[in-house]
Amino acid sequence: MKIHTKAVHAGDRKKAGDSIPVTTPIYTATSFIYEETTRLDRIFGHEEAGDSYARFENPTNRALEELLTALEGGAASLACSSGMVAIQFALQAALTDRRKHVVASHALYGATIRMLFAIFEPLGVEATFVDFSDPGAVEKAIATHKPGAVLMETISNPLLRAGDIGRIAELARKAGAAFLVDNTFATPALVRPIEHGANLVVHSLTKYLAGHGDVLAGAIVADRQHAELVRAISRIAGPVLGPFESYLTMRGIKTFPLRFERQCQNACRIAAWLSAQPAVEKVYFPGDPGHPDAAVIRKLFPENAYGAMISFEVKGAGKDGIFAFMDRLKLVVRATSLGDVHTMMLYPVISSHRDISPKQRERMGIRDNLVRLSAGIEAFEDIIADLQQALAG
């Protein structure tokens, strides 16, 4: 089945009483009871599937989890209260019975880097950061550090680099490491990392999948090997999503493939337009034929879809120049998120990469004149008109 079909059918229309609701209701109950207590006993004892307590299972979450499993081609999913908690629990599951070392991409989401330093390092988990667009560097780091987990993002932030997921999966597998991929930027519409050998996929559902800027949510999609472990540690610690947010996310996902198609199209057009502007110094876009990872992108992504994120440098602008440029935007929303129906712009220097020293940022290639744009579903002429007037000053 294609993703457009899965998005509207998977997980929904389960029998409830003697009818079948067309969409899954919001189950707010924290506990579930049965006419015979022996059944509850069997459910608590894992001899029978069923609901008992909301930290373990909930029918609304289960519907969303089935949908996510179908979209990513995994074995099971866990809906979490945020993307960050999904990453934390995926890493915990990965490292449970493995060496406490993570080889991670040096271009991870800022909070993920902070999580490795502030939460995992004090617990004895070391992290090594390397450039994941260079498989040789990843291979060397894996050979040197023998990590228990390897962690990357399908499309990195904000320079939009791509790594060879299949090749890295093979390196991780040979070393006995779990391979985790944050697929938030690419989404299952572009790449399904489990199909390329990843063990655990994580998402900030807050972004493209929920898509409307009105829900904070995350998910872990696990392969067969890790599905039970993820559920087991979740049953203890309860990082689960609330049923209201679960419902909203599922409602959002039904139109996700349509929205994302439009966002990808808009991004291609905006990137082409930006590249022709004298006020723009450089455009970073995975669809650019001259992109440094073009070969990997051709191999991994479908034709003519490159995601909907664009980064670009405004010629000659410093911090003040970027502030003035952003303040002139009337349509593009200056918000610290991405993937919503509306086009958004973020300035990495004051947000995602704020805690990184200017020198280190320069080394990472993140210059003071760089902004990141998340293409929305508006008419592209209107987006371009807004960018044009803001660039003109």
Ligand X SMILES: *Cc1c(COP(=O)(O)O)cnc(C)c1O
Residues near ligand X (CB under 6 A): 82-84, 109, 111, 153, 157, 182, 184-185, 204, 206-207, 216, 218
109, 208, 247, 306: the active-site residue: 109
Name the minimum Å distance from CB 20 to ligand X: 32
Residue nearest to ligand X (CB): 83
Give me the least distance between CB of 151 and ligand X, in Å please: 11
CB-based contacts of 118, cutoff 8 Å, min separation 6: none
Spell out a b/e string for 241-263, using b for 16 or more CB atoms within 10 Å of the CB, else e: bbbebbbbbbbbbbbbbebbbbb
Q: Which is nearer to ligand X, 40 or 149 (CB)?
A: 149
Q: Respond yes or no: is residue 368 known to be catalytic.
A: no
- Phi and psi angles of residue 196, each rounded to the nearest 5 degrees, phi first: -100, 5
Distance CA 74, CA 57 (A): 18
- Which residue among 34, 39, 53, 55 is the active-site one? 55
Question: Closest separation between CB of residue 42 and ligand X, Å?
Answer: 36
Task: Identify which of residues 58 and 249 has a Cβ nearer to ligand X in the complex.
Answer: 249
- Say how far apart CA 334 and CA 343 lie, in whole Å: 9
CB of 197 to ligand X, least distance (A): 20
The conformation of residue 356, written as its DSSP 8-state character, comes to S
Catalytic residue among 6, 62, 207, 259: 207
In this structure, the number of other CB atoms found within 10 A of the CB of residue 282 comes to: 15
CB of 84 or CB of 177, closer to ligand X: 84
C-alpha–C-alpha distance, residues 177 and 99, integer Å: 8
Sign of CA dihedral 54, 23, 212, 194: positive
- Measured from the CB atom, the residue of 111 and 159 that comes closer to ligand X is 111
Nearest to 285, CA basis, from 300, 270, 303, 298: 270
Asked about 14 being catalytic, the answer comes back as no
> What's the min distance (Å) between Cβ of 296 and ligand X?
18
Q: In the annotation, is 207 catalytic?
A: yes
51 assigned to active site = no
Of 60 and 206, CB closest to ligand X: 206
- Provide the annotated active-site residues: 55, 109, 182, 207
